Structure 1
Amino acid sequence: MSAFSAIGEEQEHDRSEYTPGLEPQATWCPGCGDFGVLKALKGAAAELGLAPEEMLVCTGIGCSGKLNSYFESYGFHTIHGRSLPVARAAKVANDGLTVVAAGGDGDGYGIGGNHFMHTARENHDMTYIVFNNEIFGLTKGQTSPTSPKGHKSKTQPHGSAKDPIRPLSMALNAGASYVARTAAVNPNQARDIIVEAIEHDGFSHIDFLTQCPTWNKDAKQYVPYIDINDSDEYDVDTTDRSTASQLMFETENALHEGTVLTGRYYVDNNRPSYQQEKKRTGEIPEEPLAEKYFDDEYEWDRVYDTFLDKHK
């Protein structure tokens, strides 16, 4: 019998199934945008018909790191900035698993920025949700990589002298094949984008604007917002990399000028994922590696045997 027999079966699921019995009530601050991420992820999982056993949520450190405590599925709470390498390993070991990685803007764009760049470059088949509230929240309000220039905090009492990073542009330039931005104040769009991101074969990056009413009152609620895919003001071709790059640059400038642009920016459905490339070269077996741990009759291939044979 397969250890992952739930994977691939068509089933109907209610969003309440993703509420864990151990920690059913999230303890984020009242008004925190992280509640919007949790709600959108539950809605997306239910819409896709994914059983909790079919999903793995990997998180880093920070307020966002509690996501897998409040979402019923397999979960792995990693150290700061390291949710992506753990998520990559899990996907390689069991390609049938739906893998979602999550982290905050400090966790994902700062401490884990190197993993972000290379996971996008290699186009690993997973969804990466970055809770972007422009502040370090859990450690009580320090300037983060996305804090605007001039923002005053405990670590920058006279105002940050640095320009914020451009997460959408970073994802596109690094090689992500699905790039979108949404916000906690737009739950329906957020759910739909997460559904698309999970269905996409390749690395999906979602920059998720999550207001922090406790430590970043300057950012407010990220409203009003404009959905670029529905607005007549924007001519969006998500398959055109050059157009996407220009619109991302405009979006990242506009945010700190008081205009919140959200939506799908870039989708490349033709680029093979890392897992597809490795299967093509025979480096990833068709049978999930994780399955073999549950097969008592499987004879393991040991890498060191290969090296020993060469020296005999």
Structure 2
Amino acid sequence: MSAFSAIGEEREIDREEFTPTLEPQATWCPGCGDFGVLKALKQAMPEIGRNPDEVLLVTGIGCSGKLNSYFESYGYHSIHGRSLPISRAAKLANPELEVIAAGGDGDGYGIGGNHFMHTARENHDMTYIVFNNEIFGLTKGQTSPTSPKGHKSKTQPHGSAKDPVRPLSLALTSGASYIARTAAVNPNQAKEILVEAMQHDGFAHVDFLTQCPTWNKDARQYVPYTDINEADEYEHDPTDRDAAAAMASEAEQALYEGEVLTGRFYVDSDRPSYSEEKQAIGEMPEEPLAERYFDDDYEWERTHDLLLDRHK
């Protein structure tokens, strides 16, 4: 039994299946890095063998929030900073779904920062793509959590006095089990990282550098870039947590000095996901909630009955 009849169907997937007929052409500004995310995501889907009926894309507010308008799958457009709790609930209810959350740097590292930390800590099995353009783009160019110190904007006309958030380090210290950074100017690497992130069993955080030529003209185009997993000058082991911490710190500092370091920073393939941890202690049934809707003989449980039983 399956919550969706399409799940488990083995067939060849065409990336064009993920182009919607209602709004096939994205309307982001010319030169926007968001186009790179959309392209990489479409290219990644055939690699993991998923069709549109097997994918849920949850977005937040901002330019990145339009992603699920241009991507054919189940979609949920949430409010600012709330894409992660909605994604978590969907994945727990139907673990067979490929759940992807997406949002901007202001959405994910600022307004939704608390959800980001705790979703990473609990290691929910999902992919989180953060469009990092170092600016609030949709609201016309305000300083964001990743804007560099000294950056001048409408909200900081004399320059930001705050150090930026370090997203890779934050993800690592919070407990994410897959951490990577890629850029819209590197489509091949972006596709490969998204494939790995979706195949990873646990919380996969992808910091996706997306240039904003309209509202962040001072920002670099994130070129040239260096892949820390391929370059001769780096011998980074992404399975070594201490090495990942040092490499993340170096990459975050280098970004504001004009050097773009991308690649896989940390990968822990042995850590159980949140649902696996809950099942191990008997607090989550092996049969997903979504499956029960398709079982006419299932005897539904009511939460208050379970609570009352514990106190009898």
With the shorter chain as reference, the TM-score category is over 0.9
Aligned to 1:102: 102
Aligned to 2:291: 291
When the two structures are superposed, what TM-score results if normalisation uses the length of structure 1?
0.97
- Structure 1: segments with no counterpart, 5+ residues: none
Is the CA contact (8 Å cut-off) linking 1:11 and 1:50 kept in structure 2? no
Aligned to 1:127: 127
TM-aligned CA deviation for residue 311 of structure 1:
6.9
Aligned to 1:211: 211
SS in 2 for 1:226: strand
Aligned to 1:52: 52
**Compared with structure 1, are the counterparts of its residues 309 and 125 closer, same or farther at alpha carbon in structure 2 (3 Å cutoff)?**
closer
Is the CA contact (8 Å cut-off) linking 2:220 and 2:258 kept in structure 1? no
Equivalent-residue separation in structure 1 for 2:13 and 2:202 (angstroms): 25
TM-aligned CA deviation for residue 233 of structure 1:
0.8
**Compared with structure 1, are the counterparts of its residues 311 and 276 closer, same or farther at alpha carbon in structure 2 (3 Å cutoff)?**
closer
| 2:90 is equivalent to residue 66 of structure 1 | no
Equivalent-residue separation in structure 2 for 1:276 and 1:254 (angstroms): 37
Is the CA contact (8 Å cut-off) linking 2:132 and 2:210 kept in structure 1? yes
Aligned to 2:234: 234
What do residues 98-144 of structure 1 show as CA deviations (whole Å, max 9, x unaligned)?
10000000000000000000000000000000000000000000000
TM-aligned CA deviation for residue 284 of structure 1:
2.4
Aligned to 1:269: 269
TM-aligned CA deviation for residue 24 of structure 1:
0.6
SS in 2 for 1:249: helix
Aligned to 1:186: 186
TM-aligned CA deviation for residue 2 of structure 1:
3.7
Bigger shift: residues 128-137 or 45-54: 45-54
TM-aligned CA deviation for residue 48 of structure 1:
1.1
Equivalent-residue separation in structure 2 for 1:189 and 1:310 (angstroms): 51
Equivalent-residue separation in structure 2 for 1:248 and 1:307 (angstroms): 45
Bigger shift: residues 50-59 or 285-294: 285-294
| 2:196 is equivalent to residue 196 of structure 1 | yes
TM-aligned CA deviation for residue 308 of structure 1:
4.1
Equivalent-residue separation in structure 2 for 1:295 and 1:272 (angstroms): 29
Cα RMSD between the aligned structures? 1.3
Equivalent-residue separation in structure 1 for 2:139 and 2:92 (angstroms): 33
* 1:81-120 mapped onto 2 (5 Å cutoff): 81-120=81-120
- Percent identical: 77
The residue identity in structure 2 corresponding to 1:128 is Y
Bigger shift: residues 201-210 or 270-279: 270-279
Aligned to 1:280: 280
SS in 2 for 1:17: helix
Aligned to 2:78: 78
Aligned to 1:159: 159
TM-aligned CA deviation for residue 22 of structure 1:
1.1
Equivalent-residue separation in structure 1 for 2:52 and 2:282 (angstroms): 30
Equivalent-residue separation in structure 1 for 2:87 and 2:310 (angstroms): 34
When the two structures are superposed, what TM-score results if normalisation uses the length of structure 2?
0.97
Is the CA contact (8 Å cut-off) linking 1:60 and 1:79 kept in structure 2? yes
TM-aligned CA deviation for residue 5 of structure 1:
2.2
TM-aligned CA deviation for residue 309 of structure 1:
4.8
The residue identity in structure 2 corresponding to 1:155 is T
Aligned to 1:31: 31
Aligned to 1:243: 243
Bigger shift: residues 281-290 or 51-60: 281-290
What do residues 179-228 of structure 1 show as CA deviations (whole Å, max 9, x unaligned)?
00000000000000000000001000000000000000111311111111
Is the CA contact (8 Å cut-off) linking 2:63 and 2:137 kept in structure 1? yes
Equivalent-residue separation in structure 2 for 1:311 and 1:269 (angstroms): 39
Equivalent-residue separation in structure 1 for 2:310 and 2:138 (angstroms): 52
**Compared with structure 1, are the counterparts of its residues 288 and 157 closer, same or farther at alpha carbon in structure 2 (3 Å cutoff)?**
same
Is the CA contact (8 Å cut-off) linking 1:213 and 1:220 kept in structure 2? no
SS in 2 for 1:265: strand
- Structure 2: segments with no counterpart, 5+ residues: none
Is the CA contact (8 Å cut-off) linking 1:212 and 1:220 kept in structure 2? no
Equivalent-residue separation in structure 2 for 1:130 and 1:216 (angstroms): 17
Equivalent-residue separation in structure 1 for 2:89 and 2:161 (angstroms): 37
Aligned to 2:225: 225
TM-aligned CA deviation for residue 310 of structure 1:
6.2
* 1:11-22 mapped onto 2 (5 Å cutoff): 11-22=11-22
Equivalent-residue separation in structure 2 for 1:307 and 1:242 (angstroms): 43
